[in-house]
A and B are shown apart, each in its own frame.
Chain A
Amino acid sequence: MSLKRLAGYGPAVVLTVAIFLLWELVVRANLVNSHLLPAPIAIMQALVDNWDVLSVHTLQTSLETVLGLAIATVFGLGLAILLDLSPWIRKSVYPLLITSQTIPMVALAPLLVIWFGLDLTPKIIVVTLYCFFPIAVACADGLASTDPELMKLLHSMRASRWQTLWLVRLPGALPSFFSGLRIAATYSVTGAIVGEYVAAEQGLGLYMKTSASSNAIVLVFAAIVVTALLSLFLFGLVSLIEYIALPWQQRFGQKR
Chain B
Amino acid sequence: MHDPQKDDLKLVVKGVTRTFSAGRRQLEALAPLDLTVGQGEFVSLIGPSGCGKSTLFNIVAGVDTPTTGAVAIEGDWQGERAGKVGYMPQQPLLLPWRTAEENVMLGLDVRRVPQKEARQQAHELLKRFGLLEFADSYPATLSGGMRQRIALLRTILFNASFLLLDEPFGALDALTRITLQMWLLDLLESFHSSVLFITHDVREAILLSDRIYVLSARPASVLRIVDVDLPRPRRQQMLAEARAVELEQELILLLMKEQPL
A interface list, Cβ under 8 A from B: 147, 149-150, 152-159, 163, 167-168, 171-172, 174, 246, 248-249, 251-252, 254, 256
Contact = CB atoms under 8 A, between A and B. Distances in A.
A153 B95 contact: no
Given A156-B62, A157-B110, A246 B83 contact: no
A168 B95 CA distance: 8
Interface stretch (B11-19, B84-92, B206-214): B84-92
Contacts of A149: 89-91, 93
Contacts of A163: 109-110
A248 B110 contact: no
B80 interface: yes
A248 B83 contact: no
Contacts of B158: 157
A152 B111 CA distance: 16
Nearest to A150: B93
Given A246-B97, A254-B140, A152 B110 contact: no
A174 B58 CA distance: 29
Contacts, number: 65
Given A156-B87, A158-B82, 17 more contacts: A149-B90, A150-B93, A152-B58, A156-B61, A156-B82, A156-B85, A157-B82, A157-B87, A157-B106, A158-B62, A158-B83, A167-B106, A167-B110, A171-B95, A172-B97, A252-B141, A254-B140
A167 B97 CA distance: 10
B135 to A, nearest CB: 15
Q: Is the interface of B mostly helix, strand, loop or mixed?
A: loop
Given A157-B158, A158-B80, A252 B140 contact: yes
B55 to A, nearest CB: 12
B89 A248 contact: no
B219 interface: no
B91 A256 contact: no
A161 to B, nearest CB: 12
A150 B107 CA distance: 13
A158 B159 CA distance: 12
B110 A147 contact: no
Given A167-B106, A252-B138, A155 B82 contact: yes
A158 B79 CA distance: 13
B83 A157 contact: yes
B168 to A, nearest CB: 13
B75 to A, nearest CB: 19
Contact of A256 (B80, B93, B96, B111): B96
B63 interface: yes
A177 to B, nearest CB: 13
Contacts of B106: 157, 167
Interface in B98-153: 98, 106-107, 109-111, 138, 140-141
B162 to A, nearest CB: 12
B109 A167 contact: yes
Contacts of A171: 95, 97
A147 B95 CA distance: 11
A253 B34 CA distance: 48
Contacts of B97: 171-172, 174, 246, 248-249
Contacts of B96: 248-249, 254, 256
9 A-B pairs closest in CB distance: A158-B83, A156-B87, A156-B61, A158-B82, A252-B140, A159-B110, A157-B110, A248-B138, A248-B97
Interface in B53-72: 58, 61-63
Nearest to A159: B110
A157 B82 CA distance: 6
A155 to B, nearest CB: 5
A159 B62 CA distance: 12
A251 B96 CA distance: 12
A242 to B, nearest CB: 12
Residue of A147, A156, A249, A256 most packed against chain B (CB within 10 A) = A156
B8 to A, nearest CB: 24
Given A153-B89, A153-B93, A167-B109, A248 B61 contact: no
B63 to A, nearest CB: 5
A92 to B, nearest CB: 26
